Amino acid sequence: MKKTAIIAISLVLSTVNCFGQDSLWHRTYEFGIYNNFDLRNSSRNAISTHRVLNDGFNSLITSKMKPKTGNIARGLFSFSTTYLTMLWSHELGHSLRARQVGGSFNIHNMNLPVPYTTVNLPANISLTDEAIFVTAGFEVNYLNIRNLQSQFLRQNGLWNEDLALSFANRLMYPIYTTLIVPINPKDKNVWIETAGDPVHYILPVFENYSDNQIFMPDGTVNPKLVSFYNQASLFALVFQLLDPQFYREIGASFGSASKIRRPVFIIGDYNNGWTYGTLFNASPLGYELYIQNYLHLNDKQYGLYLKYGRPFKNIGLGFSMNEIITYKKFTSDFLFEIWQQDLFGNGISSEFIGQWKLSEKFGINFNLGYKTKGYLLGKQLDSGLNIGTGICIYN
């Protein structure tokens, strides 16, 4: 299967020679490994690789150039790394899920603007497993957004370069459906000769949901399938516009890479306040819509997300608390999630995320959690332990 990935997004970032610093703002590189083909293997490592490459280029190359030449070189390099980070984190997501469902993902070349890849999946693969393989690329894109927004709110700001990466990942699905592989969902051939990830994932989801009623008795496309495709395409674009942090990302994409932007709080401020963010995701249950609430009270940070998805029933919520445990140089966050889903029933998940700072420059992190059977963004469908560990480098 030939996969069409993405086209370039014009993110022109100018720069100065060094990054600012505040007591809350940290430039952290986190590299780790997770079990169960967890998509954080792609998302978190890709974000940190993006930072390392851009910081290294800025420090070793543009800092030795004349300002005007350095700004041009920095803009071109930042555009390239943003594009490639979004592209290859997406493709690595497909690769992880292919192995998870017993298949293999093959990269034949790395030609620009898109690579040529094929996949071999088991002949008897279920519709759910087929869908989770196809959605994996988008899942990583939306994990990138969620991870960056969590950092943005947690430390009261991020560099433009990080926010621009989040903005680029938000555009992935809308650009796919409007520019890369624009289709007419009423066209019967679209669903016979599928092209592009949005069609590839929506088809098995709807087949599963409708008991393979893709076409009507008169040969036309099932209007519920047409509606499902159009709704997903619309929400992937419009739902982003409801996120106040999204407009920070737009400004960051065309601003100085060295600038740090603060999040928008709807009520109050970072010390005592509330704000929210929105997230769209493509899943084996259909599209998902998240509203993530961020509450800051007396130096404590809480999160509460609400999730709704269709066409399968898919509702859930998650509660988090940052630094629930603090002891000397060790801190730990806590995340608890519950859901009700047509395919998997009721489920729960809980996870501790710890970090131990060994010195001013280095630390280690770990994740330890458990989930029952069901779909959670980035994780395996089956029940089991979720374990991860890695290193932190503080700049």
Report the C-alpha gap between 256 and 260 in whole angstroms.
9
Tokens of 384: 């089991």
Nearest to 364 by CA among 373, 355, 372: 355
Residue 134: which H helix or E strand, with range? helix 127-154
Q: Is the pLDDT of residue 377 over 50?
A: yes
Contact 201, 283 (CB under 8 A): no
> Could you tell me which of 323, 364, 14 has the C-alpha nearest to residue 159?
14
Predicted local distance difference test score (pLDDT) of residue 25: 63
Among all chains, which residue has been given the structure tokens 């963010």?
A: 277
pLDDT confidence band for 20 (50 / 70 / 90): very low
Q: What is the per-residue pLDDT across 264-308, written as a single tens digit (0 to 9) for each?
A: 999 999 999 999 999 999 999 999 999 999 999 988 999 999 999
Residue in the structure block whose two tokens are 């690789």: 49
CA distances 280 to 29, 145, 188, 270, Å, are 26, 10, 27, 25
Q: Are 374 and 339 in contact (CB under 8 A)?
A: yes
Q: How many CA atoms lie within 13 A of 134 on its CB side?
A: 30
Residues 216-228 as b/e (b if ≥16 CB within 10 A, e otherwise) read eeeeebbeebbeb
Report yes or no: 280 and 239 within 8 Å, Cβ to Cβ: yes
For the segment 230-243, the average pLDDT, to the nearest whole number, is 96
Q: What angle do CA 342, 290, 162 make, to 5 degrees?
A: 135
**Is the pLDDT assigned to residue 4 strictly greater than 70?**
no
For 106-145, the pLDDT digits (tens) are 888 877 777 788 899 999 999 999 999 999 999 999 999 9
Across the strands, what pairs with 294? 275, 303
Identify which of 86, 123, 80, 81 has the alpha carbon closest to the alpha carbon of residue 101: 123
Residue with tokens 């974000």: 47
Tell me which residue has tokens 């280690």: 364
Percent pLDDT > 70 in the chain is 93
Residues 219 and 227: their CA atoms lie apart, in Å, by 17
Mean model confidence pLDDT for the chain? 90
- Rounded to two decimals, the pTM is 0.90
Tokens, residue 336: 């608890």
Q: Per the structure block, which two tokens stand in for 299?
A: 């130096």
Asked whether residue 173 carries a pLDDT value surpassing 50, the answer given is yes
pLDDT at 191 over 90: yes
User: pLDDT tens, 21-38?
Assistant: 344 566 889 999 999 999
**CB neighbours (10 Å) of residue 116?**
14
Walk across the sheet containing 28-34 and list its strands. Answer: 28-34, 384-394, 362-371, 345-357, 330-341, 314-327, 300-311, 286-297, 273-283, 267-268
Reference 88, options 104, 118, 110; nearest CA is 110
Whether residue 7 has pLDDT greater than 60: no
Closest CA to 231 of 195, 291, 185: 185
Q: What is the structure's pLDDT at 109?
A: 81
Residue 94 pLDDT:
95
Q: Which amino acid is at 162?
A: D
- Stretch (H or E) spanning 263: none
- Average pLDDT, integer, range 157-166: 94
pLDDT of residue 22: 40
